Amino acid sequence: MVTFVQQFLNGLTIGSFYAFIALGYSLVYAIMKLINFAHGDLFALGSYVAYSFLVWASAALTAALGLWGALAVAMVVAGVSVAIAGLLMERVAYRPIYPAGRLPAVVSALGVSIFIENFIMLVWGPRYQAYRSEFVPVGYFQIGELRISILQVVILISAVILLGFLYWLIEKTTFGAAVRATAQDRATAALMGIDFRKVIRFVFTVGPALGAIAGVMVGLYYRQISFSMGWIYGLKAFVATILGGIGNIPGAMVGGILLGLLEAMFAGYVSAAWKDVIVFAVLMLILIFRPTGLLGEKVAEKV
């Protein structure tokens, strides 16, 4: 029972990372119909930016705001700088190529992905970097044999708040309606007076920013980051996107959490070495038997 609860909590934590990253994929896909292969690398970039920021400023910030305050500032810094990178990427590598068709855009996305990954490697070096212990909160609650770290609790609470806010923004506000309308039919949405450039700017700001926040959380949670970690997180988050239905915002959240739970349970009870295989096998099964995802996709193209 203790193992089960422990794995369940681990699964929820990993799942919220996937949910954050999956939202970026899903938003961009919904608007641009493009798999943004560079998204996972933006996530890694966020992790590194926060790392450097914390190395530089954590002592002063911790003295002024406390450790949690310093971490919050680091997340904002990472989120803003990666959002700028995302906007720049859209302007330079996607907007000029998009009219040429979807395949050139995919290659361009791969190019950006390779660029960012190597950029990180050149700036921070090819070895693993460790989030130092002075900026990682270490406390935990002990309930019987069960041990829950405070960090895990904070990650889960902030995930609920952020994802809830985004859900409200997309599903309940006028601007959210504009985003959803653009996802359904860009031309008609434009005729209704929706500025789709604004929508595109929105998805390339919010997606990368959420990815960066996930990057900081992963750094704090596992303490170790590498320049190439973006690709595997990105790929799994994409599986989560498909699981929930591509272009479906609540779907991406549910898909992320489900995938995290599945992975943690499989790793805990069956085999850790085969857990990634199971993730990808689930992807194939979903696409074979329920190609619109568990919650249904929100885009027009049929599978």
Partner 1 sequence: MRGIIAGLRNDPRARRIAVGIALALVVAYPFFASAYWVDVAFYLGLYTLLGLSLNVILGEVGLFNLGHAAFWAFGAYTTAILNTRFDIPILALIPISALATAGFAWLVTSPIIHLRGDYLCIVTIALGEIVRLALNNDPGGITGGPNGIFGIDRPRIGGLVINTPTEFYFLVWIIVVLCAWALLRLQNSRIGRAWNYIREDELAAECMGVDVRAFKLLAFTLGAALAGVAGNLYAAKMMVVSPESFTFMESCLVFMIVLLGGMGSVPGTLLGALVVSLFPELFRPLASYRMLIFGIALVAVMYFKPAGMWPRRRATFRSVIGREAGKA
Footprint of partner 1 (CB under 8 A):
29, 33, 35, 92-93, 96-97, 100-108, 110-119, 121-122, 231, 235, 238-239, 242, 273-274, 276-277, 280-281, 283-284, 287-288, 291, 301-303
Compute how many other C-beta atoms are within 10 angstroms of the C-beta atom of residue 200.
22
Q: How far is the CB of 141 from partner 1 (least distance, A)?
A: 35
Q: How far is the CB of 70 from partner 1 (least distance, A)?
A: 32
- Cα(15)–Cα(258) distance, integer angstroms: 7
- Cα(171)–Cα(272) distance, integer angstroms: 37
Residue 98 or 222 having the CB closest to partner 1: 98
Find out whether 240 and 40 touch, Cβ atoms under 8 Å: no
Reduce the DSSP state of residue 166 to 3 states and report it.
helix
Reduce the DSSP state of residue 13 to 3 states and report it.
helix
Helices 102-124 and 229-244: angle between axes, nearest 10 degrees: 140
Q: How far is the CB of 132 from partner 1 (least distance, A)?
A: 26
Residue 173 or 271 having the CB closest to partner 1: 271
- CA contacts within 13 A on the Cβ side of 62: 12
Q: How far is the CB of 96 from partner 1 (least distance, A)?
A: 6
Helices 229-244 and 249-269: angle between axes, nearest 10 degrees: 120
| Token pair in block for residue 263 | 């992975």
Residue 269 or 274 having the CB closest to partner 1: 274
Q: How far is the CB of 207 from partner 1 (least distance, A)?
A: 17
DSSP state of 295: S
Residue 40 or 79 having the CB closest to partner 1: 40
What's phi and psi for 129, nearest 5 deg?
A: -110, 145
Residue 2 or 122 having the CB closest to partner 1: 122
Q: Which residue has the tokens 């930016």?
A: 49
Q: How far is the CB of 110 from partner 1 (least distance, A)?
A: 6
Residue 1 or 288 having the CB closest to partner 1: 288
